[in-house]
Amino acid sequence: MLMRRFIIVGHKVPNDGRFTLNDLAGSAGRVDILCRCINSAFFLSHAMRKEVEVQLVLPAGPDPCTIVRFVGAELRYLNPDERSTAALIRNALLKRPGSAEIPSTPGVYARRGTLAVALESVATKSKIFLLHEDGEDFASVYVSSDPASSMSDDSDSTFLLGDNTDLSPDELETLERFKHKLVSLGSISYHSDHCITYLNLELDRRADMVCKKAPS
Amino acid sequence: MLMRRFIIVGHKVPNDGRFTLNDLAGSAGRVDILCRCINSAFFLSHAMRKEVEVQLVLPAGPDPCTIVRFVGAELRYLNPDERSTAALIRNALLKRPGSAEIPSTPGVYARRGTLAVALESVATKSKIFLLHEDGEDFASVYVSSDPASSMSDDSDSTFLLGDNTDLSPDELETLERFKHKLVSLGSISYHSDHCITYLNLELDRRADMVCKKAPS
């Protein structure tokens, strides 16, 4: 199965999971943004995207940097509202995992690990794209102008995004160790979850065009 | 200024505003969906879309059908998280307006009114599109294949959507009184907020192409 992967750095989420669900945009360190990214990554109207994987990289402390991984093919108990998604993230963090990944709720895993660990986990099987306003336009970088020839470009891609702040200089330095491209969705700067929604729908539409063009 | 308008029917939100912010996806009648639609309609990364207007049509009772209108050019106190947006909707409903529109927080208005009233308010100045899986494809209906010629099609459009349920037979009958087209975003059925995000970004991208093509 061709995968779509998203890695999102949540710079301020308390990674021991000790935050209240009543203040997601405040003391929970803008975990609301990550919840919306999860929603955008996985939800169809009456189904879940099974071909999607999301890794949330949470460096803020007080614990060592932690990765919460959502696997579309295994996910249960994911609902579209922010609060319930935040509860899934919190439950995973409250497991206080070690460097070995452990399961939380179905389809949600946690481990200690940095952005480098997250990127290493995808680098051999996936192209890596950093979403950034200064990048080349998505349409010209990612997909060729001929839909029929874009199929191979639609294989196993990882999109890396920040939360409400760009990647830090240290994080960009980490990224430099991996082959990657900067891609932009246009001249306007968008919220991360909106970028993910657009990418998902646009890739669906392009795959649809390829299917319709393929000989029957 | 060319406007983008969205009308969303929230079929189950208690329209007297008496709901708790701790159960948006439950007893608040899926107001979480409307909050995400508002977010998708208005938010850029570091700004608000001033050219957007949203009307939420709330027929569920116990009060008569109520319209809460968000005006991008006037909006204040709108934050990206669901909970604070739900508070703005609730505050407007708690005003218990009559048939004349009254202001709530800046850029948010409320009035008693049905879907017909909402459609009447846009019909003379705007084309109306119902987002529906059975519609014609967005790309072929809404925008011509030549970006330069699509500018006029990008003028003052209203997109009508349901929440997590399609429009009812009665609502479709109301819509029949107005000139409109059914448009689809592809063969997959998406959440309403994801449709709005896609439309906004795709229209931005097309407008961008037109600007770049225009003689300098």
DSSP string of A95-133, one letter each residue: T---SS-EE-STTEEEEE--HHHHHHHHHTTSEEEEEEE
Q: What is the pLDDT of residue B31?
A: 97
Flag whether B216 is in a domain.
Answer: no
* Mean pLDDT (whole number) for B52-69: 97
Compare all CA atoms of chain B with the CA of A212 and give the residue at the minimum distance: B187
Choose the mutation target among A48, A142, A201, A208 for the interface with B, i.e. most B CBs under 10 Å: A201
Rounded percentage of chain A residues whose pLDDT exceeds 90: 80
Q: Which two tokens stand for residue A33?
A: 């943004």
What is the value of ipTM here, to two decimals? Answer: 0.90
Flag whether B95 is in a domain.
Answer: yes
Minimal CA separation from B102 to chain A, in Å: 29
Burial of B54 from C-beta contacts in 10 A (0-12 / 13-18 / 19+): buried
Can you give the CATH number for the domain in which A17 is found?
3.40.1280.10
Answer yes or no: is pLDDT of A19 > 80.
Answer: yes
Label residue A207 by pLDDT band (50, 70, 90).
Answer: confident
Q: What is the pLDDT of residue A209?
A: 75
Label residue A155 by pLDDT band (50, 70, 90).
Answer: low
- If one counts the domains in chain B, the total is 1
* Mean pLDDT (whole number) for B158-186: 96
Compare all CA atoms of chain B with the CA of A132 and give the residue at the minimum distance: B45
**Three-state DSSP class for residue B111:** strand
pTM of the shown model: 0.92
Q: What is the pLDDT of residue B155?
A: 58
Long-range own/partner contacts, residues A175-178 (CB < 8 A, 24 or more apart): A175/A115, A175/A119, A175/A128, A175/A130, A177/A116, A177/A119, A178/A119, A178/A120, A178/A123, A178/A128
Instruction: Count CB atoms within 10 A of the CB of residue B194.
Output: 26
> pLDDT tens, A49-101?
999 999 999 999 999 999 999 999 999 999 999 999 999 999 999 999 999 99
Q: What is the pLDDT of residue B123?
A: 93
Cβ separation of B83 and A83 shorter than 8 Å?
Answer: yes
Helix, strand and coil percent figures for chain A, each rounded to 5: 35, 25, 45
Handedness of CA B104, B107, B110, B111 (dihedral sign): positive
Strand B4-9 vs strand B52-58: parallel, antiparallel, or unpaired?
parallel
Q: What is the pLDDT of residue A156?
A: 87
Domain encompassing residue A64: 4-213
Cβ separation of A82 and B32 shorter than 8 Å?
Answer: yes
Interior angle at CA A154, CA A151 and CA A160, nearest 5: 165
* Mean pLDDT (whole number) for A139-157: 56
Task: Find where tokens 């938010």 sit.
Answer: B43
* Mean pLDDT (whole number) for A126-143: 86
Answer yes or no: is pLDDT of B143 > 60.
Answer: no
* Mean pLDDT (whole number) for A98-110: 97
DSSP string, A38-88: HHHHHB-SSSB-TTEEEEEEE--SSSSPEEEEEETTT--S--SSHHHHHHH
Answer yes or no: is pLDDT of A214 > 90.
Answer: no
* Mean pLDDT (whole number) for B166-172: 96
Compare all CA atoms of chain A with the CA of B202 and give the residue at the minimum distance: A198
Answer yes or no: is pLDDT of B146 > 60.
Answer: no
Largest CA distance in chain B: 56
Q: In whole numbers, what is the pLDDT of chain A averaged over residues?
A: 91
Which residue, B161, B169, B157, B174, is CA-closest to B133?
B161
Instruction: Please check whether residue A6 is in contact with residue A56, taking contact to mean a CB–CB distance below 8 angstroms.
Output: no
Choose the mutation target among B193, B203, B211 for the interface with A, i.e. most A CBs under 10 Å: B193
Label residue A145 by pLDDT band (50, 70, 90).
Answer: very low
* Mean pLDDT (whole number) for B53-80: 97
Interior angle at CA B122, CA B118 and CA B125, nearest 5: 175
CA-to-CA distance for B16 and B66, rounded, in angstroms? 9
* Mean pLDDT (whole number) for B150-163: 74
Q: What is the pLDDT of residue A149?
A: 41
Minimal CA separation from A175 to chain B, in Å: 23
Instruction: Count CB atoms within 10 A of the CB of residue A179.
Output: 9
Q: What is the pLDDT of residue A58?
A: 98
